Structure 1
Amino acid sequence: MNLHDHWIDGVSVAPADGARLERVSPADGRVIAAAALGTAGDLDAAVVAARRAFDTGPWTTLPGSQRGEVLLRLAALIEENLEALAFLEAEEAGKPLAVGRSELQFGIELIRYAASLASGLSGRLLSESGPEAMGLVLQQPLGVIGVICPWNYPAVCLLQKLPFALAAGCAVVAKPSELTAGTTVQIARLAREAGLPDGQFNVVIGTGEVVGEAMTAHPGIDKISFTGSGRIGRRIAAKCGESLKRYSLELGGKGANIIFADADLDAAVEGAFQGFTINKGEECCAGSRILVEESIAGDFTARLLARCAAARLGGVRDEEAEIGPLIHEQHLQKVLSFIEGARADGARLLCGGERLTGGDYAKGTYLPPTIFTDVRPDMTLFREEVFGPVAALMTFRTLDEAVQIANDTTYGLANGIWTGSLDKAMAMTRRLQSGMLYVNTYLELVPQLPFGGMKSSGMGHENGPEGLQEFLTTRSAFIRLRTAF
């Protein structure tokens, strides 16, 4: 069993009162970890360390290229320890090991990309005010950043924030989920080994009700960067508004995966399957509303159901598994309640719908791919984020109808388009109301592209140059010279 302690000012810190949360494996019910449960006092100690590091430490004043070198060393260390980190990530979050590996590899790409941005920071010189005056526009690190990460992608969500904040010159206090804290703590250790100064990156494990609330209210934190539910995101926005603290929010979604008749059907079936089952559906960008052009609906549905029937579910040690267990029993019961609600509303179940029991599944929280049809826009299944491998299959006749169905949601995080027509793809790209759009693929990311939502899916961006801008502040200086230049 792993013990996860806080990481504050470059050292491991055990919980002062001994309070820990035991993490039970979602695959088989074993106790696999015990994480420290932090207090407001632990959070304060971490903020004090981060504040000192930012205000007086060397990191902020280092040339960006040198900050980038440390980040590159961190990426190399994660790569050296990839297998151990991937297993830790997969076991705690309920993923097949291959999925854990791919997520850590993407995290490495994010760090290397952020390192490349660090050396490119620049301001502007304005000389239009006459020969005896000039203006300077400065971009400087924002300060101490409070990072709050969810349990579904512990490493990726951290690494979409941390390296960009560090590249900008900020200090960071991170609160991982108490359920999946392992990789965050280990990355903090590796960051120190890579040469990051003490206090520059701190980790306080704990609940949102205690550590998250303390972080949002703490006057020593300059910005909150949050990934999680819309309910908590709204609370964070309200709390930050009280003190005018900056914040960025990456929240939930209810994506539409739209398949036109001229699509490559084999690719579209696989893309639709992956779109709602990847990470067992615990995915904010999930394409959980599958919209199929009516003329191909029968063929597409038959192929998709066959693909779901062939899917292999299993735990971290099953190298052939595609879909892992849901995060814990309470969440499984919540997803099952959505399924029962869809049945009660009149939706027709095509596959799945029941937890797997017996054999290797007896002590786990496994739910097979579940698809409903005859879904109406007024149904809860259409409107609310389920966060499990559950999809609503619907049909459309025209492009306009597909746009109307897809946009009929308060969310705006991601949508997918499958078509052989570039004109159709561009028309849909312009009209669909989401921050992310995938054409003939789904949930494929590269670090260079900004990631963020519209409407109630959040505000702000991660990744891309925009991800760095989230951790910078702009200042201006007007300078009157004694002599002309």
Structure 2
Amino acid sequence: MQRYQIYIDGKWSDPSSGSWFETTEPYSGKAWAEIPRATEADADAAVRAAHRAFLSEAWSGLTATARGALLRRLAGLIERDAERLGAIEQRDNGKLIAEVAPQVRGIAQWFYYYAGLADKVGGSVVPMPRNDVFNYTKYEPLGVVVAITPWNSPMALTAWKMAPALAAGNTIVIKPSEFTSASLLELAALCEEAGFPPGVVNVVTGYGAEVGDPLVRHPLVAKIAFTGGEAGGRMVNQIAAADFKKVTLELGGKSPNIVFADANMDEAVKGAVAGVFAASGQTCLAGSRLLLQASIHDEFVEKLVALAKSARIGDPSQMDTQIGPIATRPQWEKILAMIAMAKEDGAHCALGGHALQGEGYGQGQFIAPTIFTGVTNDMRIAQQEVFGPVLSVLKFEDEDEAIRIANDVQYGLAAGVWTQDLHRAFYCVDRIRAGTIWVNNYRATSFATPFGGYKKSGIGREGGMEAIKEYLQVKSVWITTRPNRANPFIGG
């Protein structure tokens, strides 16, 4: 069994606790590696190393172009090792290898994108209402960034934070989920190989209360970038507010996927299935509320159930598997509890609604693709994030009712609209309160465009040019152009 170490200040070391914990494969339930159980002392050491690196000539003395070169080198190493990194992440969180492999290759593109953007962020000369000063603005890095990432897509969601943070000139301490730490320790090794100065990138692993909380509270931390649940995001935001730390929070979602009667039904059915059952529903942008126009409801549900039934479920390491296990036992138990809650509230279970166990299902950490019909928007299953392969189907009559139902939820991360009417599409896009809206497609993301939420789905944006400014602060500079100033004492 492989035993990992933490990575601080360019060195690999054992945790100060002298303790490790096992990480297991969700499919087989077998432990395959030992992860360091870091402590507050390790968190402090990582932040102080990052702070020293931020002030050092080795990092702060680099030009933005030189930082970009390091990021490009890292991107190339990720491409080189994509197959190995994907296999490690798949083993750690049970995601489909068919999904993880291209996702890891896509991670390299984030580093390439921000490598190119590193020396493209400039200030401006500001026209002033007086002729004796010259004013310009410049952007500067914040300092030490703490990135806290979840178990569903650890490398991808770390790259969303790490690439713009480093391109902007910050240093970073990464705290991965205790369930999926191995791939990010492997990523740290590539940062070392790429030639980042010691302390610029640090990875400490362990439990939230023991290492995550001290990182968020540390006085030398300038910003926290967090992806996770609403409760964790609220706690991070409250702690950060006490010291006026900046935050980026990418939180939960209960995204509506709206299908109108004029939509291409076969395409919309495939979009609905992919929107919620891909990654076994373990994604914040899952289209977990399917809104169907009443006139097509029955036909659509029939096609939907038939397609969902055809999914190949089983070993995620096999390329032809389409739905894999739930990543953690606590999450598996939570999903089953929410399924029971939906049945109790009166929703009709049209498909699934149970765990899958037996031959072909490993240790049994599987849940059948589940579709509930007869759902009303006041039901708990329509309001609370499941983070699993569970779809709620709701009816609507017209655009205004669809928009009202879509917005009547505490989240606002994403939404889908399926229609062939261009006017209707724009009407919905303008009125749905969500950070990302897909029209006649679902679940697309890119390094080139911002991603983030409205309402309780978070604060700030990741991706695109907007993201790098989340890791910068602006400075206004005034230079006097007239050498002889008037006596400040009037009449003196």
TM range (shorter): over 0.9
Q: Distance in 2 between matches of 1:248 and 1:328?
A: 25
Contact kept? 1:64, 1:121, Cα under 8 Å: no
Q: CA deviation at 1:63?
A: 1.8
Q: CA deviation at 1:263?
A: 1.1
Q: Distance in 1 between matches of 2:115 and 2:452?
A: 21
1:205-284 alignment runs, 5 A limit: 205-284=205-284
Residues 1:347 and 2:347 are matched in the alignment? yes
Q: CA deviation at 1:33?
A: 1.9
Describe the SS at the equivalent of 1:222: strand
Contact kept? 2:17, 2:38, Cα under 8 Å: no
Aligned CA distance change for structure 1 residues 21 and 64 (closer, same or farther; 3 Å)? same
Q: Which residue of 2 aligns with 1:184?
A: 184
Q: CA deviation at 1:482?
A: 4.9
Q: Distance in 2 between matches of 1:457 and 1:362?
A: 34
Contact kept? 1:228, 1:250, Cα under 8 Å: yes
Q: Which residue of 2 aligns with 1:424?
A: 424
Q: Which residue of 1 aligns with 2:468?
A: 468
Task: Provide the alpha-carbon RMSD of the alignment.
Answer: 1.3
Q: Which residue of 1 aligns with 2:415?
A: 415
Q: Distance in 1 between matches of 2:71 and 2:303?
A: 45
Q: Which residue of 2 aligns with 1:70?
A: 70
Q: Which residue of 2 aligns with 1:53?
A: 53
Q: Distance in 1 between matches of 2:422 and 2:127?
A: 45
Contact kept? 1:49, 1:199, Cα under 8 Å: yes
Aligned CA distance change for structure 1 residues 127 and 341 (closer, same or farther; 3 Å)? closer
Q: Which residue of 1 aligns with 2:175?
A: 175
Per-residue displacement from partner, 1:358-416 (whole Å, max 9, x unpaired)? Answer: 11214131112100011122211011001100010111110111001111101000111
Q: Which residue of 1 aligns with 2:22?
A: 22
Contact kept? 2:42, 2:204, Cα under 8 Å: yes
Q: Which residue of 2 aligns with 1:370?
A: 370
Q: What letter matches 2:432 in structure 1? A: L
Describe the SS at the equivalent of 1:359: coil
Q: Distance in 2 between matches of 1:474 and 1:256?
A: 37
Contact kept? 1:3, 1:35, Cα under 8 Å: yes
Q: Distance in 1 between matches of 2:109 and 2:263?
A: 31
Aligned CA distance change for structure 1 residues 232 and 416 (closer, same or farther; 3 Å)? same
Identity, % of aligned positions = 39
Contact kept? 2:255, 2:286, Cα under 8 Å: yes
Q: What letter matches 2:64 in structure 1? A: G
Q: Distance in 2 between matches of 1:60 and 1:261?
A: 57
Contact kept? 1:43, 1:211, Cα under 8 Å: yes
Per-residue displacement from partner, 1:218-264 (whole Å, max 9, x unpaired)? Answer: 00100101000100111111111111111111000000000111111
Q: Distance in 1 between matches of 2:338 and 2:122?
A: 50
Q: Which residue of 2 aligns with 1:403?
A: 403
Contact kept? 1:90, 1:99, Cα under 8 Å: no
Q: Which residue of 1 aligns with 2:456?
A: 456
Contact kept? 1:96, 1:314, Cα under 8 Å: no
Contact kept? 1:95, 1:315, Cα under 8 Å: no
Q: CA deviation at 1:67?
A: 1.0
Q: CA deviation at 1:298?
A: 1.6
Q: Distance in 1 between matches of 2:23 and 2:39?
A: 19
Per-residue displacement from partner, 1:65-115 (whole Å, max 9, x unpaired)? Answer: 211111111111000001100001111111111111121122111111111
Describe the SS at the equivalent of 2:360: helix
Q: Which residue of 2 aligns with 1:195?
A: 195
Per-residue displacement from partner, 1:191-224 (whole Å, max 9, x unpaired)? Answer: 1211211100000101111211101110010010
Per-residue displacement from partner, 1:323-354 (whole Å, max 9, x unpaired)? Answer: 11101222111100000011111110000111
Q: CA deviation at 1:129?
A: 5.1
Describe the SS at the equivalent of 1:172: strand
Contact kept? 1:26, 1:364, Cα under 8 Å: no
Q: CA deviation at 1:127?
A: 4.8
Residues 1:79 and 2:79 are matched in the alignment? yes
Q: Distance in 2 between matches of 1:286 and 1:74?
A: 30
Contact kept? 2:412, 2:455, Cα under 8 Å: yes
Q: Distance in 2 between matches of 1:290 and 1:217?
A: 40
Q: What letter matches 2:210 in structure 1? A: V
Q: CA deviation at 1:133?
A: 1.6
Describe the SS at the equivalent of 1:50: helix
1:307-322 alignment runs, 5 A limit: 307-322=307-322
Q: Distance in 2 between matches of 1:276 and 1:32?
A: 29
Q: What letter matches 1:202 in structure 2? A: N
Q: Distance in 1 between matches of 2:483 and 2:191?
A: 48
Q: Which residue of 1 aligns with 2:334?
A: 334
Describe the SS at the equivalent of 1:73: helix
Per-residue displacement from partner, 1:116-163 (whole Å, max 9, x unpaired)? Answer: 110202111235354432112110011110110011110111000001
Contact kept? 2:26, 2:365, Cα under 8 Å: yes
Q: Which residue of 2 aligns with 1:124?
A: 124
Q: Which residue of 2 aligns with 1:12?
A: 12
Contact kept? 1:148, 1:227, Cα under 8 Å: yes
The number of residue pairs the alignment matches comes to 484
Residue segments in structure 1 that go unaligned for 5+ positions in a row = none
Q: Distance in 2 between matches of 1:261 and 1:365?
A: 37
Q: CA deviation at 1:2?
A: 3.1
Normalising by structure 2, what TM-score? 0.96
Q: What letter matches 1:213 in structure 2? A: D
Q: What letter matches 2:109 in structure 1? A: E
Q: What letter matches 2:388 in structure 1? A: G
Tell which deviates more after alignment, 126-135 or 159-168.
Answer: 126-135
Q: Distance in 2 between matches of 1:467 and 1:8?
A: 26
Q: Distance in 2 between matches of 1:129 and 1:56?
A: 39
Describe the SS at the equivalent of 1:319: coil
Contact kept? 2:16, 2:41, Cα under 8 Å: no
Tell which deviates more after alignment, 327-336 or 169-178.
Answer: 327-336
Q: Distance in 2 between matches of 1:92 and 1:108?
A: 20
Q: Which residue of 2 aligns with 1:393?
A: 393
Q: Which residue of 2 aligns with 1:305?
A: 305
Tell which deviates more after alignment, 128-137 or 38-47.
Answer: 128-137
Q: What letter matches 1:418 in structure 2? A: W
Q: Which residue of 2 aligns with 1:105?
A: 105
Describe the SS at the equivalent of 1:77: helix
Describe the SS at the equivalent of 1:186: helix
Contact kept? 1:222, 1:246, Cα under 8 Å: yes
Describe the SS at the equivalent of 2:377: coil
Q: Distance in 2 between matches of 1:4 and 1:450?
A: 34
Q: CA deviation at 1:20?
A: 1.4
